[in-house]
Amino acid sequence: MAYVIAEPCIGTKDTACVDACPVDCIHPKKNEGDFVAQPQLYIDPVACIDCGACVPVCPVSAIFALDDLPGKWKQYAEINAKEALIAVVLRAEQS
């Protein structure tokens, strides 16, 4: 399944979810090069273990289980997956 970060994160990027995630699958972090340029944070659906720890810490309620993602934000599942994959490639190239 995986969790998804939707529109309320845009312009917020609080990052409390980053600290709450036990498997480090939410990016970019504040210290990563693309943090300023990205409009929101993304969850890597391959690495996410569906624990739900990120949901209650989000101050704008932007994170949903895939099955609970509101219809108006369904496209964010694909956006998270695509941007997370790009971020994985970028970080591999930089390391």
- Residue (22 or 71) nearer to ligand SF4, CB: 22
R_g over Cα of the chain: 12
> Considering the complex, what minimum distance in angstroms separates the CB of residue 39 from ligand SF4?
18
Number of alpha carbons in the 13 Å side-chain half-sphere of residue 69: 21
> Considering the complex, what minimum distance in angstroms separates the CB of residue 24 from ligand SF4?
8
80 contacts: CB under 8 Å, gap ≥ 6: 2, 4, 5, 42, 43, 44, 45
> Considering the complex, what minimum distance in angstroms separates the CB of residue 6 from ligand SF4?
13
Binding region for ligand SF4 (CB under 6 A)? 3, 20-21, 23, 25-26, 43, 48-54
- Residue (23 or 89) nearer to ligand SF4, CB: 23
- Residue (57 or 93) nearer to ligand SF4, CB: 57
Alpha-carbon distance 35 to 90, whole Å?
A: 13
